């Protein structure tokens, strides 16, 4: 899957170093929106940094450890989502995401995460996917809830982003619970 049309102007593509300029520009425009919840934002200060992150993601894909995707909306980069910490022994992985603030509130990320779950169960040694989010990050927690995940656990002070420390809610979804599996 290099690039896939999800309909309605939404596309998912394998995240490659060629996306570095567009993704860095998007992060730069969205710093305030993203930094409260995502620890990489302050460290991302150049296109070169973004490019080396994307190269590393391709290495992780080659090693079967991660899959990073770029989300496009009407041909323009709109955000990212990824399958992380793929653990073939325990057949589990976790999903992360971020979206341009101007494109929130339309269901785009919920659709994209749904497609990533299809890919996880179809193409990776995974029978369980998790989403971790802070309880105060309501738009993020709403995504697993909307997709039928179970709220399984809450770890205290287990998420850090810049100066913030939050509890970590773990949402889980099993292969047999996914209607499209
Ligand atoms: C987390 C984040 C991606 C969620 O964005 P979002 O726009 O709320 O999520 P979606 O694109 O799935 O859209 C859902 C919204 O669209 C609405 N919507 C409209 N049509 C919809 C549809 N067909 N299906 C689902 N939702 C729809 C939903 O009601 C919801 O809006 P609401 O919150 O006002 O009820 C975004 O807030 C973000 O990037 N935050 C910063 C980074 C971050 O926190 N990442 C996660 C770290 S754990």
pLDDT tens-digit series, residues 64-83: 999 999 999 999 999 999 99
Determine the average pLDDT of the residues in 21-27.
Answer: 98
Mutate to test the pocket of ligand 1, among 44, 106, 167 (most ligand atoms within 8 A of CB): 106
Look at residue 37 and tell me whether its pLDDT is greater than 90.
Answer: yes
pLDDT for 1: 55
Task: Give the pLDDT band of residue 2 (cuts 50, 70, 90).
Answer: confident
Task: For a ligand 1 pocket test, name from 110, 130, 131, 151 the mutation site with the most ligand atoms within 8 angstroms of its C-beta.
Answer: 110
DSSP state of 180: T
pLDDT interval class at 108 (50, 70, 90): very high
Query: How high is the mean pLDDT of the chain?
Result: 97
pLDDT at 181 over 90: no
- Cβ burial of 19 (10 Å; 0-12, 13-18, 19+) is buried
Q: What is the DSSP letter of 39?
A: T
Q: CATH assignment of 3-177, given 3.40.50.1580, 3.40.50.300, 3.40.630.30, 3.30.70.270?
A: 3.40.630.30
Residues 6+ apart with CB under 8 A from 93: 83, 84, 85, 86, 87, 120, 124, 126, 128, 129, 130
| β-bridge partners, 67 | 83
Query: For the packed helices 138-146 and 108-123, what is the interaxial angle rounded to 10 degrees?
Result: 50
* Ligand 1 center–CA 142 separation, angstroms: 7
Residue 141, pLDDT > 80, answer yes
């Amino acid at each position: 899957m290099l690039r896939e049309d999800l309909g309605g102007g939404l596309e998912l593509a394998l995240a490659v170093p060629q996306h570095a300029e567009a993704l860095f520009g998007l992060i730069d425009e969205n710093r305030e929106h993203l930094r409260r919840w995502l620890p990489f934002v302050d460290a991302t200060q150049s296109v070169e940094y973004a490019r080396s992150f994307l190269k590393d993601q391709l290495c992780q894909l080659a090693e079967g450890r991660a899959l990073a995707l770029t989300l496009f909306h009407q041909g323009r980069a709109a955000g990212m989502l990824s399958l992380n910490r793929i653990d073939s022994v325990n057949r589990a992985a976790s999903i992360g995401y971020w979206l341009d603030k101007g494109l929130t509130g339309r269901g785009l990320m919920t659709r994209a995460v749904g497609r990533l779950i299809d890919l996880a169960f179809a193409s990776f040694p995974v029978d369980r996917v998790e989403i971790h989010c802070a309880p105060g990050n309501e738009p993020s927690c709403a995504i697993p809830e909307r997709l039928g995940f179970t709220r399984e656990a809450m770890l205290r002070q287990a998420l850090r982003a810049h100066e913030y420390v939050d509890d970590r809610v773990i949402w889980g979804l099993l292969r047999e619970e996914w209607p499209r599996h």
